[in-house]
Structure 1
Amino acid sequence: MRTRYHQELAELGTSLTQLCDLSATLIGHATRALLDADLELAEQVISDYGRVTALSAAAEERAISLLALQQPVAGDLRSIVSCIRCIGDVERMGALAVHVAKIVRERHPEHVLPAGFEGEFAEMGRIAVELAGNAKTVVGSGDPEKAAGLREQDDVMDGMHRRLFAALLDRGWKHGAGAAVDLALLGRFYERFADHAVEIGRRVVFETTGTLPPEQEVGTY
């Protein structure tokens, strides 16, 4: 019975790393669709999100079953509770990638990004993919130092987000209100994607040490 219990715990962790992988793929593809105005790739992101929701639902069901049937305590209890919270965060990361893809779909065949903003969003997309990959590594290793390090990458994303808003509010903005709204939303999506990755790191620290680092504001957008 205990062997099966620990096997279930391991499978729960594996599901979470798979979800991190999927979210990295989705945001990477969504960014490429954004840069290239690629409708087919945007549609693929939207469709592939179903894999995230299905895997999330199965993982949550497994976690709840473990809580109900095994009544874990101490470290095991923290592990399962943290995993449930992380599942919600990584599912939200996938949903944010879908938001990016939907803007691409709505504006197709036109490009969403005005000239001169491609490099900014290519970099934001790169950081987002890296954050999701590092979240996967942290979930697999349980290393609290690496988990805490996710915040440094988030700081870079936050800085890019602030610079984007400064450009949108500049009196010299000449791309129109519609483009400004699109870019404001896109910046928000990438910034929140990073926040959720940081939250996964916080939960890994809690799982390992029993103490939560200072809270990162995570929106529900």
Structure 2
Amino acid sequence: MNEDARSPWPGALAAGAALVLGAWLVQGNGLPPLPGADQALGAVGSEVFAPPRPRAVPTRIRIPTLQVDAPVTGLGLDGEGRIRPPDDTDRNLAGWYREGITPGQRGTAIIAGHVDTRQGPAVFYRLGSLHRGDQLEVAGADRGSAFFVVDAVEVYTKKDFPDAKVYGPARGSQLRVITCGGGYTEQDGYDGNVVVYAHLVRGVSA
């Protein structure tokens, strides 16, 4: 996120909701997809950025490749500085870190969501199957939209989560979309996070 925003603790989603996330797997279902090594982040600085959008609280995220069209709610931090996950009673709900910038502003915006709940796959269950070049749209309360293109999809264990790389200051207008992922045990839940890196290519105002 930008230099003026507070960075959430990197293991927020995986550690903060481990008792719920993965409950669906206990019923004998398979792990969600993970990105291949060929989707890792490449050279930095090669992106062509669109002009930043004005601040606009996000209301929906759409990922056509994954058939995701979900409302976005604001997320704060818990007492340990970790992002509080979205309400797990709604599987089709994503959350935006409201202490940071809004998607499309200059800097790094954060959107997070569950991979699954006790009821089954959740909004970002297939996030790890995205590829470079896929597109995302984040609609704002101003009735405009920010359109992003995926630069990379990576998975990190909780203990090796690169806080500065994911949340730190970045060129232009960038977006990180985060969910749980990696290995899974019934005792500890998921052991990592899937992170999508994307940059702004078009902003549309109402």
* TM-score of the aligned structures, taking structure 1 as reference length: 0.26
* TM-score of the aligned structures, taking structure 2 as reference length: 0.27
| Structure that is richer in helix per residue | 1
| Structure that is richer in strand per residue | 2
